[in-house]
Structure 1
Amino acid sequence: MIARVEETGFQTWFPWSRWEEATAGAPEPGFVTEERKRSHQAFAGLPLELDPLFKKYSSFTGLDRLKEVRLDRASGSVRLPDPDPGSILLFHDRSGSHLTIPEPLRAAGVTVLTVPELWDHPREAEGFLRAGEPREEKFRALNSALFNRGVYLSIPDGLDTPVRVKDVTVFTRPDEGLIVRRVLRPGRRSRLLYSEEVYVTASVAQPRLYSSAVDVSPAEDAQVVYLTVHAPDSQ
């Protein structure tokens, strides 16, 4: 089965031409596109190396249906949940990314940027694109090439206030593909509690794709807790 997947090639299902689909409605500068292209070239050339546990407990049945997944944006959005008091809320759905950040955290220097607004900040954008060895592994390179959602977060050094982030992704379309790249930069002696949560509004027969790449680089004496909650059915 592994040989058959290798022969078919993920690059057949995710050719470079899908870049236009992933960025539709979210224009980007040329330097971003060039970084994406280099990542896609790496993705096409890297071998498919699966963790032994993945091969033991997972199945490749129907994996070729990933070519049916849509990466473009769509109109309409899910009703945003109320943010927890004092917390940052990030919400990704078919229409894009939505951000709510308390004013005291913003005033204290906490920065949260989402794609495509991130491209208006060249220094942060460069750090976002090159973080975490984006071309060292096949699926990470795919994420770096075709991400259609992105988050960059930085916390200043010495911030006494703990920063809590609730990052929620909700699938509403039956054939939806959400590829999310997150880069987190907690400063010295800062404290960050980050929860990544994924939900669907209904179970469907069509394939869906969720890809998450996270690069966390805490500064000296920073404390970070990263939690994940994935609920891939409507229950």
Structure 2
Amino acid sequence: MNGSRGVRVTLVDDHPVFRIGMAALLDSLEGVTVVAQAAGAAAARDLFAGNHETDVVLMDLDLGDGSGIDVTRDLLRARPELKVLVVTMREDDDAVVAAVRAGARGYLVKSSPPDAVERAVRAVAQGEMILSPTVAERAMAYVLGGQRAARLPFPQLTGREREVLDLVARGLDNTAIAHRLSLSPKTVRNTVATVLAKLSLRDRSTAIVTARAEGLGGHEADDHR
């Protein structure tokens, strides 16, 4: 696929320091070139709305203006030939499952050493599926354990949004959620508004009913501090 032109990589991440460091690492590798960078979900969609050509997309999951899961799904729907490699801080099972279901071909944590990043980029460019050792170990335990369904509720939500929705479904108000997650009430209020918009829900009551129907909010709140 890549031939003599090498592997063209596009970075999608909202942290400029990480992008600069990753771009420097990739550009130092033989046959690998960073051809574009996007600082968020909107920028990535704008970039690929044109005739942007790339072989591998390195995708963060928690973008400042949206979800990397959503961007991955949208990009692959329009451009099935793209190879997406998720590079994120998150190692939780839900994030791995959601990324793979969205079509990602690989999943690395940002703490992975440079040689692991290189192997992953080259492997994904060749159409292989790759997980970092820590993620692979967790994924294998997840599969062998069989105690949880592979279906992820509301995959269009980020991990934080799903966490907030779960607490909403438990009956906590914004102040209690902020206390529980060590967030500001404003951040919680904005997150709830984003969840309602993403799920096309009218209000908080509807969100509670919908979330509980999908298995969230399994334990009632024991306090509303």
TM-score of the superposed pair, with normalisation by structure 2: 0.25
* Higher relative strand content: 1
* Higher relative helix content: 2
Highest RCO, 1 vs 2 (Cα 8 Å, sep ≥ 6): 1
